[in-house]
Structure formats: C-alpha cells, structure tokens
Structure 1
Amino acid sequence: MTERTAPEFTQIIHPWEINPEQRRELIECWTVVSNAGGAVVPLGFPPPPVGTEEVAPAVDELIAGLDPQRGRLLLATIEGDLAGWLVVRRDPHPFIAHWGELNHLQTHPRFRGRGIGTALMHRVQDLAREEMGLEQLHLAARAGMGLEEFYRRLGWREIGRWPGALRLAPGDDRDDILMVLTV
C-alpha cells in the first residue's frame, strides 16, 4: 500500500448489496473511529469506548435504510481495505426533496492524512447531483474538532449553529455547526 494509492469507490443503494465482509469492516471502522475520539458517535451510543455490541445495531439500521431514492452508502477502499465511508440521505417530503444530508463521514485512522475524506466528499457531490438529482447538501459538524475548516476548504459554508447542543461530558458542551453546499 503506497501513500499515493487513490481510493476506489463503491456505492451501496440496497441493503442486499452489502456483503458480510463490508458489514464487518463498517463496524470495525466506526468502532475504531469512535474510540479514537472521532465526531461520529450517534445518538444511542454510550460514550467511548464502544464495541461491536453498540456499533453493530447502528450499522444494521443504516444498511436497512438504504434505498436508491432516499439513502446511499459510499465506501472508499484502498487495495481492498475499507479506508472510509459516508452516507447521503434524502427526505421524501416534497418540500425538501431537492436537498440531501450527509452523515457519518469517517476515515479509518490507518488511512488518515491521505485525502480519503476529501475524495469521499468530492465523489458524493457528483453522486448527489448526477444520480440523485439533488441541488444542495447539508451536514452538521461538531465544534471544537476543526471540522468546520475542513468543510470550508471544500466549499461548504456555515449557515448556523446550535450553541451547546452536544454534551460530550459534564462541562464539555459543543456547538452543532450547520453547513450547506450547493451541488
């Protein structure tokens, strides 16, 4: 594996398309990223450390929600290993069906610093526009992690904040930063 190996992308649009190895890798990635302090701990997870027993149900729920029109999983692999992933979702309500929401952008720690997150973000823009017919993408990012600068460099703009929305621990409240990108 070289530093310059570009990721290959796989899009999963139906629950039956994911194989057991991909499911296992998703669980492992989400567990490692959460335990390394990543900002991907969803509601329902206890504070880190987490294990398979907490993460597997969230992965299974994510997989069950895949649908070509409403939710897609984008995997980035390097030489067959899961390097990162994200989910793009569309709400079916007709007033907001022109925009999608990004969730769970993760890069496995052993692939950090290699542009995997950036590559996923560029690929999902094309997918959202060309395959899902979306015009905007939205996301929420945890303050205090440097994430807003990462997204700004990719063309996203902050549209608001929920002050103190996320309580990571007593005395550690973080803003939830709301961002948008026109695709």
Structure 2
Amino acid sequence: MTASEVAAPAFTQFTRPSELPSSVKRELAACWAAVVNAGGAVIPADCPLPPLTSAHTEAAVDRIAGQLAPEHCRLVVATVDGVLAGWLLVRREAHPLEAHCGTVNHVQTHVHFRGSGVGAALMRRVRRIAREEMGLELLKLTVRSGLGLEDFYGKAGWAEVGRWPGALRLSPGDDRDEILMSLTL
C-alpha cells in the first residue's frame, strides 16, 4: 500500500481509562500482535517470543489503559476509514527534574498500512500534542538497532544521542544495540 492509496489518517487521543472502549483495546491488541509477528521491535515484557496472538498482548494493552491521565500519559490512535492504522503512547517523565520531558513508547503502524505515511503522521501529531497540550519541551525514545528505525526517526527530526551496545538480546548470538533518540520541541 502506498501513501497515494491511503486517505490521511484521523487521530483520536485517549487520556483516561474510562475513555478507551473495549473495541479499541481489542484492535490495539490485534495490531500489536501483528506488528510483533512482522518483526516489530515492541514485544511486551510478559509475552512469549513470537508468534503472538491478540490474547498475548491484551494484558499489556490493559496496563497501558490503566495508566492514562491527561497530564501524564496519552494514547494516540490513527485510523484510516475507521480502521486502526497505528498508535503510540506519550508519557511525561515522573521525576521532577525531568517533568519537562516526555517519552514516546509503543510506536506502531499496522502491517497493512506500512509505507503509507501513517507512522510519519503519528510522529508529527505526537510532537504537537507533547508541545501544545502537555507543555513538554523534549521527547525521548529508544529503538532497537538492525531495523532501520533510526533512519525513520531521523527523517522526523529526531537525533541519535547515544547507544547501549548489545543491550537487547533477541536470542543467543543476536544482541542488538539500544539506540537512544531525542527530539527538542
């Protein structure tokens, strides 16, 4: 699917657990499993290694939903023609010395929408939300090396600020760097 074939995504923010319908939670869990199974880097800590099903990711989605709070944690969902196309989470850092910073987690574009511009649109949207609505000045994220993600984020204005060599072990003999990235708002 190319960007020219896909309508511009619509965005919905969820800022409280009570706002997130069960139907959207099911879609998030299904998207997460599909993304992991396609080689995505965001594997929930309490899940087995791929292949995953929605049942494997449901508890992680429930934990995310329970953390939602307008000032501290927001879920941003992109849909195209009413279909979940991608999502991410933006969190304000809890420590007072870092309260001006946020962390972006769980950035995912559904496999059916890869290459269509949904991921880039999510990154533009989270930048605006973080700056204008949450009052953040800096965003952080980490990515797994070996997937080209640093190039994707670099095109969106993020800068690599460091690496933890070999910090991620996917399997014996397959250690990857964890790449630290930053975006000044």
Q: Partner amino acid for 1:33?
A: V
Deviation at 1:74, TM superposition (A): 0.1
1:173 corresponds, among 155, 162, 175, to 175
Using structure 1 for the length normalisation, give the TM-score. 0.97
Does residue 31 of the first structure (1) align with residue 42 of the second (2)?
no
Which one of 74, 77, 80 corresponds to residue 75 of structure 1? 77
Q: Which residue in 2 is equivalent to 1:131?
A: 133
* Cα-to-partner distance string for 1:12-49 (whole Å, 9 max, x where unaligned): 00001011111110010001001111111132222101
Q: How far does residue 4 in structure 1 lie from its aligned partner after superposition?
A: 3.7
CA contact (8 A) 2:32 2:54 kept: no
- After superposition, the CA RMSD in angstroms is 1.2
In the alignment, the residues of structure 2 paired with residue 18 and residue 181 of structure 1 have an alpha-carbon distance, to the nearest angstrom, of 28
Q: Among 141, 144, 156, which residue is 1:142 paired with? A: 144
Q: 1:93 aligns with which of 92, 95, 107?
A: 95
Question: 2:13 maps to which residue?
Answer: 11
- Identity of matched residues, %: 56
Equivalent-residue separation in structure 2 for 1:168 and 1:151 (angstroms): 22
**1:182 equivalent among 178, 181, 184:** 184
Q: Distance in 1 between matches of 2:113 and 2:119?
A: 10
In structure 2, what is the Cα distance between the partners aligned to 1:161 and 1:42? 21
SS state at 1:104 partner: strand
- State the match for 2:153 in structure 1: 151
Hey, what does 2:106 align to over in structure 1? 104
- The code of the aligned residue for 1:23 comes to K
Counterpart Cα distance in 2 of 1:59 and 1:9:
18
- Following TM superposition, by how much is the alpha carbon of 1:81 offset from its aligned partner in structure 2, in angstroms? 0.4
Residue 14 of structure 2 aligns with an amino acid whose one-letter code is I
Q: Which residue of 1 is the match for residue 60 of structure 2?
A: 58
Which of the residues 112, 116, 123 maps onto 2:118?
116
Q: Residue deviations 1:130-165, cap 9 Å, x none? A: 000000000000000000011111111111101101
Mind listing any 5+ residue stretches in structure 1 that lack a counterpart?
A: none
Query: Counterpart amino acid of 2:157?
Result: G
| Displacement after TM superposition at 1:3 (Å) | 1.1
| Aligned residues of 2:29 and 2:55 also touching (Cα < 8 A) | no
How many residue pairs are counted as aligned between the two chains? 183
CA distance in 2, matches of 1:87, 1:18: 13
